[in-house]
Amino acid sequence: MKIYQEIKQFLSRCEAENKPAIIAIVGPTASGKTALSLKIAHEINGEIISADSRQVYKYMDIGTDKLHESKMEGIKHHLIDIIDPSEQFTLSDYKRLAIKAINEIHRRKKIPILCGGTGLYINAIIQNYQVPVVSPQYDLRQELARYYEEHGAQALHDMLKERDPEAANQIHPNNVTYVIRALEINIAGNQNKKNVTGEQEFAVFVVGIDWSREVLYERINRRVDDLIGNGLLNEVKSLFMRGYNEKMPSMSSIGYQELIEFLSGNVTLEQAIENIKKNTRNYCKRQQTWFRRYRDIHWLDGQNLQEYLSKQSSRCRYSEKTGI
């Protein structure tokens, strides 16, 4: 594909200019980021750094659609399964660990590839977000957490919207951890959570995958059906058996929250599945809006990418059978 040549030319320029380089692969849920990241990693001797705010959690494999180790094709992956579902994980945590991984990959003379759909994580690296320095306010966090438990995620988000509309516009109501942190910064630091950018640390080549909304929605619906078929409901039950509960920020993830509603007897299983599809489609729209704001991005048509990857896969199977 042409994109491989463009990336290699970019890397050659960076090497000539002695600039540390990273590749970023972005796009909405179910757009094909994982498959493309593996192909590019093979082409440029890369390692993949997840930019997914839910794949950091252990034991949450099916609902976050993690790539099983057996399907990683020997490519090293970073920032997957690194924290317990009961733990807090902030944007600052992500940036610190991602920068550490990037530097380690560069020291191994390989190319870091950011891959994911969490726009804040991507921006924190490629735009060098300067995360506000407000020390943790544990009493305030507990107070906000109690408010969330009593009134729900939307009420908490409405509080943020009233105090800091810009931050509220960037954070989904279900991402309770980020909502609480933004409120914490606003209240304790007496400032809004502005994502101030610093001088870029790396040269960045961003690849975006674009689908028509209708086709993407079909892909999302099929993916949700696959997740259910692969045992997502049992995964939610197993998390409860491990002692985790619906009040933990990790459990506010799409797929988990809807099935918790089913297990609580509030909706039927069919309604829960339809709600997962609807909420995923809504999230997808926000992702598309986010990434379309990027100025320097190389867009790939999703249909063309899918056809290319299918042909490559067929060739690999043919080669395995015939030895060619």
Burial of 283 (0-12, 13-18, 19+ CB in 10 A): middle
Residue pair 22/114 in contact (Cβ under 8 Å)? The answer is: yes
Residue pair 129/196 in contact (Cβ under 8 Å)? The answer is: yes
Mean per-residue pLDDT of the chain: 89
- CATH tag, 2-131+197-322: 3.40.50.300
**Gap between the Cα atoms of 199 and 63, Å rounded:** 36
- CATH tag, 138-194: 1.10.20.140
Cβ neighbours around 213 below 10 Å, total? 12
Helices (H), 64-137: 91-107, 119-126
Least confident of 126-130, 173-177, 279-283, 284-288: 173-177
Give the pair of three-digit tokens for residue 39: 């192909």
When pLDDT is cut at 50, 70 and 90, the band that residue 252 belongs to is confident
pLDDT at 321: 45
Of 86, 91, 145, 158, the closest CA to residue 122 belongs to: 91
Question: Is pLDDT above 70 for 193?
Answer: no
Task: State how beta strands 129-130 and 196-197 pair.
Answer: antiparallel
Residue pair 59/231 in contact (Cβ under 8 Å)? The answer is: no
**Gap between the Cα atoms of 110 and 107, Å rounded:** 7
Question: Is pLDDT above 90 for 231?
Answer: yes
Q: Where are the domains of the chain?
A: 2-131+197-322, 138-194
Residues in the chain: 324
24-35 as b/e: b if 16+ CB within 10 A? bbbbbbbbbbbb
